[in-house]
């Protein structure tokens, strides 16, 4: 669609009377009304019927592009409930604004209706309004400005992501464990848990006190599994249901039997026993050797004393003095 | 066979140092790295921080409280059987803990059983060490105690790795096998061939004289307050970091960093205590105050660099105050009453070690984060250091040991770690 300054260029599929109504409104009103970004030069508000009737909140997002933008600009938007959405792209170029071709696409489908184009100075503005009611309307919405090169801005609408644990949860046979899934700032309508049997996802039923699902806050869910068996290990999925889509997260559970740590334990115990035995045996051996050599030494010492005694009193005197000083 | 009256100061003594090194690693390294298990226990039992903290605090308290029992038993039976029994008890405690289904089981198995095992290993080993060394006793003890720092450094990430592969049950089983090496260390403690030391003045008389000794009582109160705050970071730092969204492995590494600076602090403080003239009490007060300040600043730090800096500061200052805490005692009560004094001191300060971590855990449960816990821990340390001001000779220009020349020669190098047998050998 070619841009003409000041006039709106609207697409086709609305009923005839509302198109007429829009034309009348366009020429009549000058100021922008509730909900839209007040600084954008759109003179009127072509509200579709659904938008007038609902009381959903408004989400407004803006992307700025220039002729020199080398990479496509993307904006990620997290949405959990139905909303009215107002997307605006602005394109600044030094060339002729009339020569720019403006289009909107959802995913790869071209959109025909409900977008406006307007220009001020050297900037081209385009605005697209729609309502997101369910998951069909979620996805990527892109605005394209075509001169020689095509500049693109993309708005990605996604449901909130869930946080589980990236490392596997390890537990033992007979124990109970709690798998947790949480969501940062969101409040899902419903939580469900699935376990995988091979490649099939089987919902976890609340059976026989084995599985208990509860959560203390609305933004988290806990699956408590009691009396674990080795077959209970594997992948578990937690699903969060929103009005506008679903989100899921994967948690890995590993159930070990006691034999797994028992083997290294027994190996280390055996090593300690060997060590102690070696130390004690070594000592006994060196003591035996010492005893033999000591017996030899004692024999020599008794010989020495016998010869000392026969030398006389002089040897005794220094010994007495030494004892006196020690007694202090 | 000829009996020596002097310790050999070498020879088999170095093997005893090696054994003491591994023992201090296995006892205190495990105890200090328990902060890593703390987070797992809170998740596994769904209990509050206060109740889980009792596990470690009971272990610490039983180990300190039971040290005199360990020394007494080793005087009667020799160090070897006592330490080997202690090793078996410690390993048994951990083994039973791996089957626990409630917190009470952990209190009894890790707290009581392993704690008493640890009490029976550490004190007899230090006593045995003093039998083998006299001139180089402080060096030997210092070398042996480096085991604490090195193991806290290595064990924290090691335990985290064990937890990620075997969960807490398997990890406790393997730590039990590790603790069994205490038995092997005990086997190395060959009783030295020394003449028996006669006891001096009867223990009861010493005890009553100590209980009437004002400065000793004040010092005990100060150390009890210090002990209350001292162990809190080792237990709650990992949990505090996880509250700040740190991953478990980097959090465990921060604990190791604190452990290394603890090691450096011990060595530097020991050297400084010798080099700087004047009463050691002043240095002790300096380090205690700095430790208290760094603890209180922990909640303020949010940025990783600030947290690392504080961990280093805390590690250094808390390591620095440890050897000095033992050195002040002979200056206060004299070397003749050291045995009794040390035992009494350890028994009373264990109350602080018992109550500190659960109090910190309780504050965390009530307020939702660890800010109050760390601030209160710092406050305890600061109040303990305040009481140190009231000790005699704090403001004097020279230390009391210089006034007794005959003690100087044998006492000066030994002040750093005064051991039970020391006072007995003087006579």
| Ordered structural domains, chain A, with CATH | 57-158 (2.60.40.10), 162-256 (2.60.40.10)
The residue-averaged pLDDT of A207-236 equals: 84
Q: Would you call B280 an interface residue with chain A, using a CB distance cutoff of 8 Å?
A: no
> Quick check: B281 and B393 in contact, CB under 8 A?
yes
CATH number for the domain running over B202-394: 1.20.1250.20
Size of interface A-B (CB pairs under 8 A): 56
CATH of B11-192 given 1.10.287.70, 1.20.1250.20, 3.50.50.60, 3.40.50.2000: 1.20.1250.20
> Quick check: B408 and B274 in contact, CB under 8 A?
no
DSSP B27: I
A175: which chain B residues are within 8 Å (Cβ-Cβ)? 169
d(CA B202, CA B138): 27
Task: Flag the least confident range among A84-88, A319-323, B203-207, B348-352.
Answer: A319-323
Nearest CA in chain B to A264: B174
Q: Which residues of chain B does CATH 1.20.1250.20 include?
A: 11-192, 202-394
pLDDT for res B87: 95
Task: Flag the least confident range among A36-40, A120-124, A202-206, B75-79.
Answer: A36-40
pLDDT for res B398: 53
d(CA B44, CA B23): 30
Best CA proximity match to B367, nearest among B51, B48, B54: B48
Q: Would you call A282 an interface residue with chain B, using a CB distance cutoff of 8 Å?
A: no
Q: Which two tokens stand for residue A115?
A: 């977008």
- HSE of B319, CA atoms in CB hemisphere, 13 A: 32
The residue-averaged pLDDT of B307-336 equals: 81
Residue A155 predicted with pLDDT over 80: yes
Task: Mutation target for B interface from A265, A289, A296, A325: give the one with most B CBs within 10 A.
Answer: A265
Q: Which two tokens stand for residue B372?
A: 């109050």
Residue B25 predicted with pLDDT over 80: yes
> Quick check: B316 and B410 in contact, CB under 8 A?
no
Residues 6+ apart with CB under 8 A from B308: B254, B257
Q: What residues does A143 pair with on adjacent strands? A: A104, A153
Task: Flag the least confident range among B31-45, B216-230, B323-337.
Answer: B323-337
DSSP B418: -
pLDDT for res B216: 86
A165 to chain B, closest Cα gap in Å: 11
A308 to chain B, closest Cα gap in Å: 17
A268: which chain B residues are within 8 Å (Cβ-Cβ)? 174, 177-178, 180
> Quick check: A66 and A149 in contact, CB under 8 A?
no
**For the complex shown, is ipTM > 0.85?**
no
């Amino acid at each position: 669609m070619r841009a003409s300054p000041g006039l709106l260029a609207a697409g086709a599929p609305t009923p005839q009377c509302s198109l007429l109504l829009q034309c009348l409104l366009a020429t009549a009103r000058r100021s922008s009304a509730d909900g839209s970004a007040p600084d954008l030069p759109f003179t009127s508000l072509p509200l579709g019927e659904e938008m007038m009737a609902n009381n959903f909140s408004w989400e407004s997002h803006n992307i700025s592009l220039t002729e020199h933008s080398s990479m496509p600009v993307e904006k990620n938007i997290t949405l959990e409930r139905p909303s009215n959405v107002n997307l605006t792209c602005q394109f600044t170029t030094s060339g002729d604004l009339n020569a720019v071709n403006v289009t909107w696409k959802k995913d790869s489908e071209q959109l025909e209706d409900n977008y406006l184009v307007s220009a001020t100075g050297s900037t081209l503005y385009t605005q697209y309004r729609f309502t997101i009611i369910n998951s069909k309307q979620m996805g990527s919405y892109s605005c394209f400005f075509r001169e020689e090169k095509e500049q693109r801005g993309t708005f990605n609408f996604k449901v909130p992501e869930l946080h589980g644990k990236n490392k596997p949860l390890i537990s033992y046979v007979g124990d109970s464990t709690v798998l947790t899934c949480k969501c940062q700032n969101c409040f899902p309508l419903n939580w469900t848990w699935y376990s995988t049997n091979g490649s099939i996802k089987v919902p976890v039923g609340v059976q026989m006190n084995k599985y208990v699902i509860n959560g203390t806050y609305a933004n988290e869910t806990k699956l408590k599994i009691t009396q674990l068996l080795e077959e209970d290990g594997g992948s578990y999925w937690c699903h969060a249901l929103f009005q506008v889509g679903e989100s899921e997260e994967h948690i890995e559970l590993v159930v070990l039997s006691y034999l797994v740590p028992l083997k290294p334990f027994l190996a280390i115990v055996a090593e300690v026993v060997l060590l102690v035995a070696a130390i004690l045996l070594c000592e006994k051996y060196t003591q035996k050797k010492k005893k033999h050599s000591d017996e030899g030494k004692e024999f020599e010492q008794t010989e020495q004393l016998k010869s000392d005694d026969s030398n006389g009193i002089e040897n005794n005197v220094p010994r007495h003095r030494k004892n006196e000083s020690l007694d202090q | 066979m000829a009996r020596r009256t002097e310790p050999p100061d070498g020879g088999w003594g170095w093997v005893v140092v090696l054994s003491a090194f591994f023992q201090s690693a296995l006892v205190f390294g495990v105890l200090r790295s328990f902060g890593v298990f703390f987070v797992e226990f809170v998740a596994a039992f769904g209990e509050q921080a206060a109740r889980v903290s009792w596990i470690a605090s009971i272990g610490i308290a039983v180990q300190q409280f039971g040290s005199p029992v360990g020394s007494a038993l080793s005087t009667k039976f020799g160090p070897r059987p006592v330490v080997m029994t202690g090793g078996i008890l410690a390993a048994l405690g951990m083994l039973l803990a791996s089957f626990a289904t409630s917190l009470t089981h952990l209190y009894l198995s890790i707290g009581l059983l392993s704690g008493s095992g640890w009490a029976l290993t550490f004190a007899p080993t230090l006593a045995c060490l003093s039998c083998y060394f006299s001139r180089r006793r402080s060096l030997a003890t210092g070398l042996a105690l480096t085991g604490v720092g090195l193991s806290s450094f290595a064990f924290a990430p090691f335990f985290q790795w064990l937890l990620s592969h075997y969960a807490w049950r398997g990890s406790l089983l393997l730590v039990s096998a590790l603790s069994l090496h205490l038995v092997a260390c005990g086997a190395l403690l060959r009783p030295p061939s020394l003449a028996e030391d006669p006891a001096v003045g009867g223990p009861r008389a010493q005890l009553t004289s100590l209980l009437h000794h004002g400065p000793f009582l004040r010092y005990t109160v100060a150390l009890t307050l210090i002990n209350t705050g001292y162990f809190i970071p080792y237990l709650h730092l990992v949990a505090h970091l996880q509250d700040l969204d740190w991953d478990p492995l980097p959090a465990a590494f921060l604990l190791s960093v604190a452990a290394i600076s603890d090691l450096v602090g011990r060595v530097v403080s020991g050297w400084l205590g010798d080099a700087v003239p004047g009463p050691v009490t002043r240095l002790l007060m300096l380090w205690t105050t700095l430790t208290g300040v760094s603890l209180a600043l922990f909640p303020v730090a949010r940025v990783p660099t600030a947290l690392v800096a504080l961990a280093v500061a805390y590690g250094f200052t808390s390591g620095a105050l440890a050897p000095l805490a033992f050195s002040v005692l002979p200056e206060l009560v004299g070397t003749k009453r050291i045995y009794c004094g040390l035992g009494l001191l350890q028994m009373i300060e264990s109350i602080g070690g018992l109550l500190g971590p659960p109090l910190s855990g309780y504050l965390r449960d009530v307020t939702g984060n660890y800010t109050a816990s760390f601030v209160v821990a710092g406050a305890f340390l600061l109040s303990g250091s305040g009481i140190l001001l009231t000790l005699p000779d704090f403001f004097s220009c020279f230390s009391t040991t210089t006034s007794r020349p005959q003690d100087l020669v044998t006492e000066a190098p030994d002040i750093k770690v005064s051991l039970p047998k020391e006072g007995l050998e003087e006579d």
